[in-house]
Amino acid sequence: MHLVGELDVTGCDVLEAALGEAARPGRDLVVDCARLAFIDAAGIDVLVRVAPAIGQGRLRLTNVRAGLAELLDLLNLRATVPNLRWDTA
């Protein structure tokens, strides 16, 4: 899956539905963030809520820009959402 443009509260329903359809328990779900220009708290909330649906699989965010990576680190999401992982662009 690829995120493009800005993700704020107005697009969260679409993202949550798409992630829910793509999520398969025990399998990794990869979300490319290379073209994601902006994400707000509502968008991050969707990621946090969808991750448990994957069970033992991982929700992997790839090509995460530095600002978002710093925010995810500040929120301590590696500890609170054990199967959410990201790498920087």
Q: How far is CA 27 from CA 13, 57, 77, 88, in A?
A: 22, 4, 20, 21
**In this structure, what token pair is assigned to residue 88?**
């920087």
* Per-residue model confidence (pLDDT) at position 53: 87
Is the pLDDT score of 89 beyond 90?
no
What is the spatial distance between Cα 52 and Cα 82, in angstroms, rounded to a whole number? 9
3-state class percentages of the chain: helix first, strand second, coil last, to nearest 5: 45, 30, 20
Q: Read off the pLDDT of residues 25-79 as tens digits, 9 standing for 90 and up.
A: 999 999 999 999 999 999 999 999 999 989 899 999 999 999 999 999 999 999 9
* Per-residue model confidence (pLDDT) at position 61: 97
Domains of the chain are 2-88 (3.30.750.24)
